[in-house]
Structure 1
C-alpha cells in the first residue's frame, strides 16, 4: 500500500489515464536489478527509482572516471575513483527515499548470477558487454526470469525484451542467444560514445519497462533499434529457438572460461 506521502509524491503519474493507484502499487512491489551503473545503467536506475520501483539493485564493480562523466551525470567530480554501485545507490536514495536501493560490488559471473538474480523480478543488463549478455541470458532462462538488454554504439542503439511471454503468442518467449546475430551489424566498438544517445536510449528502455510492469505489450519479444543520426526507429520481432532454449535450461550455466569471460576479482571495500 502507498502511504499518504507517496500518494502525494506520485500524484502526477497516478493521474495518467490507464495508470492510477493500482499501477503505482505494482511499481512499488517490483524488484529490478540493473547490471552496470554507467552511461546506460545510471539513467535507467535514476528513472526507475524516480518512477517508484520499490527495490532496485545495482551491480557494478567499476569506479567513476572523469572521461565518463559526460554520459554519467548521476555522478559528480567529487565522486571520482569511488565505486559506481555505492555512489549510485547513495544518489538514488537522495532522489527517492521511499525505495530500497542495494549495491552489488561484483562482476556478474556464472558463479554468482543465479544467487543474485533470484531476489529480483526483472533483470536489466546495461553492461553493454556481449559475453555478459550470454551469462545473464542463461541465468534468466534457468530461473525463468525476464530480462532487458541493449547497447549504444556511435549513433545507433538497440534494446529488447527477452525471456518474456508474449500475449499474442501464448507463452512463446525469445532469448538473447536466439537473436545475437541480429545485433552484430549494430555494434561499433571504436566509435566513441555520446552522452545524449546513452541518456535517450535509457529513457526509451525505462518507458518500455514501466509499460511491461503495467502489462502493456511492446517490450516482450521485440527488438528496438534507433539510428539517432538519421532519426530512424524500427521495431522487429525477436526469434524464438525453442530447442536451443530447452538445451540451455537442461545444461545450466557454463564456466567463465567456457563463456570466454575474463574474471575480475571481487572488490575489497
Structure 2
C-alpha cells in the first residue's frame, strides 16, 4: 500500500516532520497491520490514535454491545450507539476519523480454536482486554506466532503497561512474555474487572494512550519499547514505577494455549491485618518489606526493609527467604506484584502480601505505625 503523498502530507504533516517518522516512517505505518483485542476502555483510545496516525490496517476483536454504562470511559461511542455491536460502532467511528485505512471486525471472543488464525495476518497484537484468561491466551498465541504483545491492565485509579515477546535485533532473541511476569492466572475470586472494582474513566484512556505509543514506537523502530519493563501508574498520587521483568528460562511452557500449570496464587498469599498484627506482637520470625517509594515510607510505615517495587528483583539478595516475607504497599496492588515477581525466582519461599495494604492496617491498628520487623 503506497502513500498518497498529497493526502498524507496534509493529514500527517505534524508527525512527518519528526525525524523519527518522516516519509519512510509514514509508509511503515501505512503498511502495518495491528490487531486490537477488546474495544472497551483501553481499546477505544488505542484505535483512535492508531487510526489518526495512519496505521494502514486495524483489526478489532470484541463480541460485546455498547451499553450506557460504557460511555463514561469508552470514548469511541455515543448515545446513538447503545445496543449496537462494539465492533460495528468502532469501525464506523474509526473510518469517520480516517477513511483511508482498512478496518477488519471480528464479533467473537478469542478461544484456543480461533486465536492463531485471527492473529496470523497482523504484525502487532494489542491486549485491551479485562480478564486474565484472555490475556494468557493472547500471550501464548503471540509466543507461538512470534508476534509482539502490547499489554495493559487497569483497576480503579491504577494501571500497568508493557510490551511482551518483542524481538530485539541486538540480541536476536525475544524479550519476556506475559507468563514471565505472571506465570499462571490468580484464582477468579482474587481478581475483579472494571464492572466489579470500578474505574475512573480517564484511567483506561491514559493507559490506552501509552499502549498506542508503544505500538507506534514498534512500527517506527524508534525509542525504547517497554520490553522487559512493566510501567505501573497510580493516578491518585501521580506515582510511576518501572519494574524490570526478566525472562524465566526455567519456566515450563503452558501445555495448551491459555492453559494453567501450577497456580501462581494461593488463598494464603493474602495476609490479613489481624494476622500480621499477631505476628508482630508475638515477634514471629518474618521479614517485612515495604515496596512503596522512599517518600511514602518516610511519611508512614510499618517499618521493615524498604525495597521499592521497581527494584525488587535487582535487590533480591536482600530478601531473607529463610523466613516468612510479608510485602506491603499502599493498598495491596504493588505488594501483590512484588510477591509474584519474587515467587518467579523463589518458588518455594513463604511469601505474603498484606491485604488492603498499610491503609487498611493503620485503619484497624492506628497506633502501630512504628512497629518494626527487620
Partner of 1:211: 217
Gaps of 5+ in 1: 260-269
Q: TM-score, normalised by structure 1?
A: 0.87
Partner of 1:15: 17
Structure with a larger share of its residues in helix: 1
How big is the shift at 1:241? Answer: 1.9
Aligned CA RMSD, in angstroms, stands at 2.4
Moved over 6 A (4+): 181-184
Gaps of 5+ in 2: 264-374
Contact preservation (8 Å) 2:150, 2:214: no
Partner of 2:278: none
Determine which of 25, 31, 37 is the counterpart of 2:33.
31
Paired residues for 1:134-213 under 5 Å: 134-166=136-168, 169-180=171-182, 189=193, 190-213=196-219
Q: 1:14 to 1:254 in 2, by over 3 A?
A: closer
What are the Cα deviations for residues 4-50 of structure 1, in whole angstroms up to 9, with x where unaligned?
21222111110123221111111111100001101111111111111
How big is the shift at 1:242? Answer: 2.9
* Matches of 2:177 and 2:36, distance apart in 1: 18
Determine which of 94, 97, 120 is the counterpart of 1:95.
97
With 195-204 and 31-40 compared, the bigger mean Cα shift is at 195-204
Partner of 1:265: none
* Matches of 1:86 and 1:172, distance apart in 2: 35
Larger-Rg structure? 2
Partner of 2:320: none
Partner of 1:230: 237
How big is the shift at 1:2? Answer: 1.1
Determine which of 122, 125, 128 is the counterpart of 2:127.
125
How big is the shift at 1:182? Answer: 11
* Matches of 1:74 and 1:159, distance apart in 2: 21
With 217-226 and 107-116 compared, the bigger mean Cα shift is at 217-226
* Matches of 2:258 and 2:159, distance apart in 1: 28
Q: TM-score, normalised by structure 2?
A: 0.64
Task: With a CA cutoff of 8 Å and minimum separation of 6, indicate the structure with the bigger relative contact order.
Answer: 1
What are the Cα deviations for residues 36-90 of structure 1, in whole angstroms up to 9, with x where unaligned?
1011111111111111000000000000000110001211111101000111011
Contact preservation (8 Å) 1:209, 1:219: no
How big is the shift at 1:236? Answer: 2.2
Partner of 1:264: none
Q: 1:5 to 1:191 in 2, by over 3 A?
A: same
Contact preservation (8 Å) 1:166, 1:221: no
Q: 1:21 to 1:187 in 2, by over 3 A?
A: farther
Determine which of 6, 24, 37 is the counterpart of 2:8.
6
How big is the shift at 1:187? Answer: 6.5
